[in-house]
Structure 1
Amino acid sequence: MSMRHFLAAAVLAACASQALADGYAAVWRPGAGTQWVKAGVSADEFKAADLEYFKQGLRIVSLTVRDGKLTAVWQPGTGTQWVHWDMSESDFKAKDSAYFKQGLRIASFALHNGRFAAVWRPGKGTQWVHWGLSGDQFKAKDAPYFKAGLRVTQIELDNGKLAAVWRPGSGTQWVHWGMSGGGMEDKDAIYFPQGLRLTTMSSDGGSYAAVWRPGTGTQYWVHRRCWTDLATEDMGYFGKGLRLGFLKLQEEAQGAYHYPWKNGVTRNVGQGNNNPPPGSHNGSQAFAFDFMMDSGTEVRAARAGTVEWVRQSQTTTYDPSSPTTATNQPFTPGSHDNWGNTVRIRHLGGFTSWYFHLTPNSVKVKENDKVQAGTVIALSDNTGRTTGPHLHFQVQGDSADWGQSVAISFNGCQVPKTGDNVTSQNGNP
């Protein structure tokens, strides 16, 4: 296809080892055209990719460097572009001064452990860059720049100090730092209805800094995301006409989903992803999981969302591993009876989680209920097409019926395999 996003298999494979260690923060907003992302690549890999994308008319809109590895987003653009990283303070000053005189301005900026990285692209007007600022020093810089018609376009936290780039802009601006991830979510919930959007952010340890400025339309953002979940979300958002506004590396990562049972309990994975026949987890079920559970075990919501569909009156079972008899009859292909009793929950961004084979009349939630991760939603069982009691769990994209499952992770970026024993961190014990 003509438009690309970063779920390309080659990119995913190249980043697999790095993805296990890193978390990602990202924002998606309305956009169009091609997008490529490279995450956690070496300098040589980055140079080769950038050269190829530059020839294709793409330019870097977001750059992050950490521990010698580079992460960047390319989208359509024109004109000159210069990229440098692993710069000292004096190197950065010299580069910026030279490029400013050539009519270039900072389009992306990163600072980690005192080493600078930046992208310069065509621009005009005033530009100020400061780093090593305390909160009070930042305020003292920002107040006169705001009055002069400048706004913060890039912000960084490095070893407890703030760095920022100010460029010409207008309208409201809110800047906060020293926030937790949850605190940042709370701020965004306030600013979004006011017509403000998250334009840049940074984190250092568990501390966040962010800027909100006027904007319109859809916005989704995440933090501490595992690569698997981030790639899945980008695939879904790309198809909805959204593009990455920024992509930042973080020190910690957490799977977007929790194991769907009681906190502290360990269970066996009867079937993981991509099991070839006679396993059933292939094709549309390629990213599904079967978790071994005795009948009557509590099933918990894997992620916060809204209960969208409930089916709980089925009492029949078909075991495909046993002979067909009067009491063991297959269901019509494509029939909901194959799933048994089911709950579907819709999550932020349109993703839906599905819970199959539940105990008849055990569902404890109703359609349109809001649930949190860890909410008890039903009891497990053996209804539908199944060879024994277990919970079939999968996540789909924006779908309201049976469709293609998508890749996800649990806990600290776990994607469990068939036979693994995994422990839940979902809700109270």
Structure 2
Amino acid sequence: MGSTWSSAIYSTGTEEIAQEFHVREDLANLGTSLILIGFGTGPLLWSPLSEIYGRKVPVLVPYFVALCFTFGTGVAADFQTVLVTRFLAGFFGSAPLSITGGVLADMFEPQQRGLALVGYASAVVGGPVLAPVVGSAIVASGIGWRWTQYVTGIYMFVIVTLGALVLHESYAPVLLVTKARRLRLSSGEWAYHAAHEEWHPSLQEMATKFLVRPLQLLGTPVCFLFALHSSFVYSIVYLNLGAFPIVFGQMRGWTQVVASTPFLALSVGIVAGAIFNIQSQNFYLKKVAVNHGKACPEARLPPMMAGAAVLSCGLFLMANTADVRFPWIAPVIGAAMMGFGFFTIFQAALNYLVDTFPAYAASAVAANTFMRSIMASIFPPLTARMYSRLGVMWATNMLGFIALAMVPIPWLFYFYGERIRAKSRTSWDPKGR
């Protein structure tokens, strides 16, 4: 949550940043785009490292570096420093975003993993939803945009400290290495070795087998289509950072803090989506029981099937009730429906990918993170221009039609997913790990 919080809270201070460094506001929004590009490229390194050195170190060390660069943004003396530190904060801060999927695959059976992923997805989606409210309050208080970065850095420092103290390694091959080392020391028998510690990959092997693997997974229909759908909804989250101030601030004349409160409606929808996902767990467990205890990825999809439809309806409602002729509650309800759609689509996509690629869960999540972050990075500098040229109604309606076109994706995999997965060479692990 600290990473995605950092990506969004910056947007509340772009007006002040533009004034202080004498740049246009759309250029100031590049600070949001660059941290998202960092989110997209970082997992290509951190996820493979987590499959070599375990989960804990490749999460906490980059996260600590990310918080240092977050403070670096806060003390930046020029705009170039802001942009560089924002990218590096995203690059290093992407570690928990991509590796956590692998951690949950380590720790939980498929029957339990869906509930665990509710918490993960809530944090990833909740960061950019709650941060604008807090950031607006910080900026409106008069203490300046730099405190949006200081508050974020303090939060991240608390989390990395707690993580260093209480988190344990979860990756089985690395745990076996630790066990073998302990047995060698306690027994004096130096024949005890784990297979993983005998593996010393070369730089070329790491590049071809690990850095390329997330991109290879994107070449499968399963990973590509689910990454495409979650990328679209993730892009809308960051588009709303610029759209909500237009809809509720400029059009309705609300102050900056009040205009940020509709983000709380998104969080209401996220909570409703989380409850819906938890309720759907019973359906999944029944399918697993019929499948002799094996994972059943298609049983993860009913929340996504519902959420895809609700998302498109929420966008259409927001588009056609944004005008001041309509009561404010109408677009706010649309925002809540969008939050429900965000969460159910995002979480079901993660569940489906982890169930489909269990041995390479970290790489599958990295592929998803790469695509959604790169796509989302396009929108922050373009949102104001898009809404001014098309108007709020048509700009949002256009997004609604795109969302409507993606509604069939979960239905397609619900009915034909098993057949599609069977044709994918990478959706199963020949070693049975």
Q: What TM-score does the superposition give when structure 1 sets the normalisation length?
A: 0.22
Structure (1 or 2) with the larger CA radius of gyration: 1
- Say which structure is richer in strand: 1
- Relative contact order, higher structure (CA 8 A, sep 6+): 2
- What TM-score, normalized by structure 2, do the two folds share? 0.22
